[in-house]
Amino acid sequence: MKARLDTLVGRITMYNLVVVVLAALAVIAVIASAFGQLFYTPAQMGLSLVVLLAVTVISSWGLARLFRTRAHLPSAAITALLLFFVFMPSDDPATLGSLALAAFLASASKFVLAWRGKHIFNPVAIAAVVMTVSTLYGAAWWVATPVLLPFVAVGAFLVLYRTRKLSLGLTFIVLATVLNLGRMMLLGTSLGDALWLAVGSFPVIFLAGFMLSEPLTLPPRRWQQLVVAAIVAVLFSIPFQVGPVYSSPELALVLGNVVAFAFGQRRGVRLRYLGSRALTPTTAAFDFAPLGPVRFTPGQYLELALPHAKPDSRGTRRVFSLASAPGEGVSGSLVSVGLKLPQPSSSFKKALVGLEPGTVVRSPWVGGDFVLPADASEPLILAAGGIGITPFVSQLADRTQGGSRPADVVLVYSVSAPDELAYLPELEASGIRVLVTAPTQPERMPFGWEYLGAGRVTASVLREAIGDIAGRRGYVSGPPGYVDHVSAELRKAGAKRVHTDQFAGY
């Protein structure tokens, strides 16, 4: 079941998934209103949504031209749809004007309230704060209704699952629900009524799934994200007032954005393309020189933005694990990613292959928690499927810098063809033990590498090949099906604390 879900959501990019889910919720809301289940009429909803979409798309395009960059239209559509659920729909011309202003403020915040290419606040939340505090038009969060709750919950789960932010969402939902529940019970509300109100009448699940999880306003590490989720949950649930400003969901999220901005990489990254290198018949490495400091931990990934003509449904942004070590090159002068180039390729990969050396591209953010333990002496078992080898290349290169050798690391490297072993020089230089699975034994394997056979990696094969596997921490990277299977087999074999990194939608 998990493998099927991984494959399903991996076929669509994160941005497109959010657009599809929010659009489906909007359609469901219009249908519910037609049957009298919501206060607003279908006409009010339709007019409001048209205004919001038109203003966000047009203003995003215009502001991008003004700031000499490219508009990201899926992001503009997401902003419009979120605003649709946050502000009350209306067919009144004056109110539609207020909605248009909120849409413009949300778009403008991405460019004006930004630091070196990285926006600071969730655009919808900061627009809602400005509109509410100025009394121009208050945020209503009408999406928080029992009629839409089941659909919001399913949509939020899909988004959080796809973005690997389930722990973030659950932390916020559980803490906010418990705090709201306790506050209402202290005021005399019964347990049942308080629970129903806390879940059905507060935008807890919607905010967690579609706004708190926005990657551009999150810190890079999971523990930092959980801290932010807890802070937002407290501010969301406990009423407070500072002068004329009252607590609200949007204000809680904006204050959480400030905390998130204080963590980690606080800027976007500009990269100058250096060129590509063939790794195998179907994979290649793409090298970049950063035009500013890039801070990352081996095993993390970056999002690469590559605007191009006629993008397909997968969009103009993609996430890639870093294959270079943080200190690689002169003064950290190399950022490298490795990827598979299937035929036919997506429009994004075609544009990447066609880049001219010297072209400057942008990475909006760097993050991830697929990192090795701080104690370099801890025994490890690494398992890579195909181009899932890239984070391990970065990690092993980092540990071998200065001439040292990684302590007691075994790598299981699974490929679909005997000539698909990538990064052979880098892996050989690490000096670790490597076990290979492939349909037939590769003709060229570095000295000391072992061929495990053509079958799938199983617990019995692992136990036989690695006698002390029960004492090793496990790390698995690759396509979703490979990761789900091998991580389960590692646990059966006795490996402890298995960590995974799925290349869904890469």
Asked if 405 and 390 sit in the same domain, the reply is yes
Give yes or no for a contact between 305 and 397, defined as CB atoms under 8 angstroms apart: no
pLDDT digits (tens, 9 = 90+) for 398-430: 888 765 666 789 999 999 999 999 999 999 988
Mean pLDDT across the stretch 167-181?
94
Q: Is residue 372 part of a domain?
A: no
Q: CATH number for the domain including 426?
A: 3.40.50.80
Same domain, 82 and 102: yes
Asked whether residue 42 is assigned to any structural domain, the reply reads yes
- Together in a domain, 17 and 123: yes
**End residue of a domain, out of 367, 394, 414:** 367
Does residue 373 fall inside a structural domain? Answer: no
**Whether residue 49 is found in the same domain as residue 167:** yes
Total structural domains within the chain: 3
To the nearest whole number, what is the mean pLDDT of the chain?
88
Q: Are residues 102 and 150 in the same domain?
A: yes
Phi and psi at residue 341, to the nearest 5°:
-120, 80
Helix (H) or strand (E) holding 176: helix 166-186
CB 461 within 8 A of CB 412: no
- Predicted confidence at residue 487, as pLDDT, reads 94
pLDDT digits (tens, 9 = 90+) for 343-372: 778 888 998 999 999 999 988 778 888 999
- The residue with greater pLDDT, 246 or 34, is 34
The residue written with tokens 């418990």 in the block is 178
Bridge partners of residue 305, in order along the sequence: 317, 362
Contact 94, 48 (CB under 8 A): no
Residues in the chain, overall count: 506
Give the structural domain span for 122: 2-262
Statement to judge: residues 243 and 182 lie in one domain:
yes
Last residue of a domain, one of 221, 240, 262: 262
Q: Are residues 122 and 206 in the same domain?
A: yes
Residue 319 β-bridge partners: 303
User: Which residue's structure tokens are 């490298």?
Assistant: 336
Residues 312 and 273 in one domain: yes
**Rounded to 5°, angle at Cα 246 from 244 and 250:** 125
The answer on 94 and 9 residing in a single domain is yes
Residue 177 lies in a domain: yes
Helix or strand holding residue 16 (H, E):
helix 14-34
Element (H, E) at 2: helix 2-10
pTM value is: 0.78
Q: Give 131's pLDDT tier (boundaries 50, 70, 90).
A: very high
Helices (H) and strands (E) in the chain, counts: 17, 17
Query: Are both 413 and 360 inside the same structural domain?
Result: no
CA–CA distances in Å: residue 442 to residues 190, 341, 414, 451, 478: 68, 21, 11, 8, 20
Give the percent of the chain with pLDDT over 90.
60
DSSP conformational letter for 374: S
User: Where is the domain boundary, 245, 262, 279?
Assistant: 262
When pLDDT is averaged across residues 217-225 and rounded to a whole number, the result is 87
What is the three-class DSSP state of 343? Answer: coil
Burial of 107 (0-12, 13-18, 19+ CB in 10 A): buried
